[in-house]
């Protein structure tokens, strides 16, 4: 079982903060809206714990989009957006059909997750490549059946909120990585800190 030290958490949180700041600006520009930034929460946990955390989310149904990223730092980004936010997004973008809305969520996910992981990888001196994002609407009681989670045992969860207050659009982004990537990440985080001390 891997654990992150306080220093490793701090470094990853700050790198994520920098990456997320740039990501938010891109999405805010796309939506012509202002987002408030929150401090990312970072934890290593078993997938069973992650799934039980998902169950604590308030809404009963979420749109759920994932995108795999590959490289030295590899894993999967997951973006959750609740139904109310999806409807608010549709109103904000003046979308009329469900197809348009699916397309907008996919595009939002693509921009969010690819910008975020690209920036995060860049801050760590590496690069990542991507698969196409896929989207599904998942009732929370079925979340454990989502294929993406079944390939992981232990994951590092970087959880941050997308929050456009005026438009009432809220989402949550998770970056999930596997054991080999966690080991690579720990080494990298310590190198970054050691270079400053």
Partner 1 sequence: MKYLVTDDSKLARLSLIKSLKSQVGDAEIFQATNGFEAIEIMQKEKVDIVFLDLTMPEMNGYEALPKLLEINNKAKIVVVSADVQVQAKQRVIELGAQLHVQKPINVEKMQELLEII
User: Would you tell me which residues interact with partner 1 (CB under 8 A)?
Assistant: 7, 10-11, 13-15, 17-22, 24-25, 28, 34-35, 37-39, 192-193, 196-197
Q: Which is nearer to partner 1, 5 or 48 (CB)?
A: 5
Nearest to 110 by CA among 74, 163, 66, 161: 66
Q: 67 phi and psi, to 5 degrees?
A: -145, 125
Nearest distance from C-beta of residue 103 to partner 1, angstroms: 25
Q: 149 phi and psi, to 5 degrees?
A: -80, -20
Place of tokens 């969860």: 157
Nearest distance from C-beta of residue 136 to partner 1, angstroms: 30
Q: Which is nearer to partner 1, 93 or 193 (CB)?
A: 193
Torsion angle defined by CA atoms of residues 57, 27, 159 and 39, in that order, rounded to the nearest 10 degrees: -110
Nearest distance from C-beta of residue 99 to partner 1, angstroms: 30
Nearest distance from C-beta of residue 40 to partner 1, angstroms: 9
Cα–Cα dist 50/33, whole Å: 31
Cβ 40 vs Cβ 159: under 8 Å: yes
Element housing 144 (H / E): none
Q: Which is nearer to partner 1, 108 or 143 (CB)?
A: 108
Q: Which is nearer to partner 1, 108 or 192 (CB)?
A: 192
């Amino acid at each position: 079982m891997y654990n992150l030290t306080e220093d490793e958490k701090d470094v990853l949180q700050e790198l994520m903060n920098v990456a997320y700041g740039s990501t938010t600006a891109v999405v805010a520009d796309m939506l012509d809206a202002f987002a408030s930034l929150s401090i990312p929460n970072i934890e290593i946990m078993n997938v069973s714990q992650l799934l039980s955390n998902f169950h604590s989310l308030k809404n009963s149904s979420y749109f759920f989009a994932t995108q795999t990223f590959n490289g030295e730092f590899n894993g999967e980004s997951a973006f959750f957006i609740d139904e109310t936010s999806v409807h608010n997004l549709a109103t904000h973008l003046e979308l009329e059909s469900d197809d348009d809305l699916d397309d907008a969520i996919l595009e939002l996910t693509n921009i969010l997750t690819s910008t975020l992981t690209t920036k995060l990888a860049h801050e760590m001196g590496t690069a990542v490549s991507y698969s196409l994002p896929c989207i599904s609407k998942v009732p929370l009681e079925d979340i454990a059946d989502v294929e993406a989670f079944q390939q992981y045992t232990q994951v590092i969860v970087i959880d941050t909120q997308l929050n456009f207050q005026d438009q009432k659009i809220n989402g949550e982004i998770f970056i999930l990585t596997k054991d080999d990537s966690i080991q690579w990440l720990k080494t990298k985080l310590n190198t970054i800190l050691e270079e400053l001390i």
